[in-house]
Structure 1
C-alpha cells in the first residue's frame, strides 16, 4: 500500500479539498498535513514549484492540484474509466480551475480596485462559466456532471461553487447561483447532502 501525504493550507476548501474528499470517500489512508497561512513562506521552499497542494507518494513529491485530484479519484473509484467520460471529467476540472485562477487574480487587490475586478467577474467570466456548467449538468442527466455518478468533477464543482456562494468573497453575491444558474443551487445542495460528504464536514 502506498504511503500518502497531502500538504495544503488548514481550511476546508481550496485546491486540495477535492482530493481530500476523494480520499476520504474512498476510504484511502493518507496523512492530511495542514498548515497555517503564516507558515506558507517556509512550506513553499520545500515544494517543486513554490506552491501547494503537493502530494507525497512513498516519499516522492508531486505537484499540480488537478493531477493530484485525478490520482485520488482513481484510487477512490471516483474517476471515469471510460475514455470519453474521463475527457468530460477533465474538461470540467479545467473549467473550474479557470474560475479559481480568475478569482485568484483578484486577491491582493483592495478598495476600488478589488470591487471593480470582482464586479467584472460577476458580469463577465462567472456567468459564462456557470451557465456552461449548468448546461453540462443538464446534458448529462441532471444529477452529476459526468459518467452518471459521483466523480471528482462533482467534488471540485462542489468545492468551487460552495466557495462562490459562501458570502466570504467581497463583491461576489451569495445568491450568484440562484441568479445565474439556479439548477446549480439544487445540485450544490444535493452534493452537500451526500451522506459521506455531510459526515466529512460534520467531523471537522
Structure 2
C-alpha cells in the first residue's frame, strides 16, 4: 500500500471529506493533514493548482477531488468494478461536483445583493433540477444506493452535498429545499449516516455528520 497524505481544510465537510470517509470505511491507512481556513493563505502557493484537496501518493501530489475520491474508493472497495455501474457512479460524482461548484462560486461574491440574487436563482433552477435528477437515479437504482446496489463513493458524495444544503449555512438557499424537492435524498442521507463505520467516524470526531 502506498503512503498516502490527504491535505484539506480542517472541517468535516467539503470536497475532501468523501475521500476521508472512503479511506476510513475501507481501513486504508492515510495521514489526514488538516489546514485551518484562517491559515489557507500561507499554504495556497504550496498546492500544485492553489486548491485543495491534494493527495500525496508516495510523495507525488495529485489534485482534483473526484479523481482523488475515485482512487480512494478503489482502494477502499467502494468503487464499482462493473463498467456500467462505474459509469453511473461517475455520473453522480461529477454532477454533484458541478452543482457544488456553482454554489461555491457564490461564496466568493463580496456584494451581498449579487450573492443573494445568484443563490435565489440557483434555488429556483440548478439546485432543484439536480436534486430531482439525483432522486430519479436513486429510484432507478432500486431506491437504496446509487450504484452497484451497495454503498459506493457516489453515495458518500451525495450525502455530503445534501448535508451542506440542509445545514442552513447557505444564506438565501432554503434549508428545507432538499426535503421539499427530493425527500428520498434525505432518507438516503440518513441511510448513509447510519452506516456503522460512518457513524463511528463522526462519533470519533465528536461532531455531527
Output the TM-score relative to the length of structure 1.
0.98
Q: How does 1:24-103 map to 2 (within 5 A)?
A: 24-103=24-103
- Corresponding position of 1:167: 168
Q: Distance in 1 between matches of 2:107 and 2:3?
A: 34
- After TM superposition, the runs of 4+ consecutive aligned structure 1 residues lying more than 4 A away are none
Counterpart CA distance in 2 for 1:52 and 1:106 is 18
| Alpha-carbon distance between aligned partners in 1 of 2:163 and 2:187, rounded to the nearest angstrom | 12
Partner of 2:9: 9
5+ residue gaps, structure 1: none
Distance 1:169 1:198 in 2: 25
Q: Could you tell me how far 1:108 is from its partner in structure 2?
A: 2.3
Secondary structure of the 1:105 match is: helix
Alpha-carbon offset, residue 130 of structure 1: 0.2
RMSD: 0.9
Q: 1:75 is paired with a residue of what secondary structure?
A: helix
SS at match of 1:106: helix
Q: Matches of 1:44 and 1:107 in 2, distance apart?
A: 18
Deviation (angstroms), 1:49: 0.9
Aligned with 2:34: secondary structure? strand
* Per-residue CA distance 1:106-160 (angstroms, 9 max, x = gap): 0122422221111100100001100000000000000001110000000101111
- The reply to whether residue 155 of structure 1 matches residue 156 of structure 2 is yes
Secondary structure at 2:103 match in 1: helix
Counterparts of 2:176 and 2:29, CA distance in 1: 37
**2:194 corresponds to:** 193
Q: Which runs of 5+ in 2 are unaligned?
A: none
C-alpha distance in 1 between matches for 2:90 and 2:127: 19
- For 2:203 and 2:114, the matched residues in 1 are separated by 37
> SS in structure 2 opposite 1:128?
helix
> CA–CA distance in 1 between the matches of 2:97 and 2:139?
21
1: distance between equivalents of 2:199 and 2:167? 17
Distance apart, 1:45 and its partner CA: 1.0
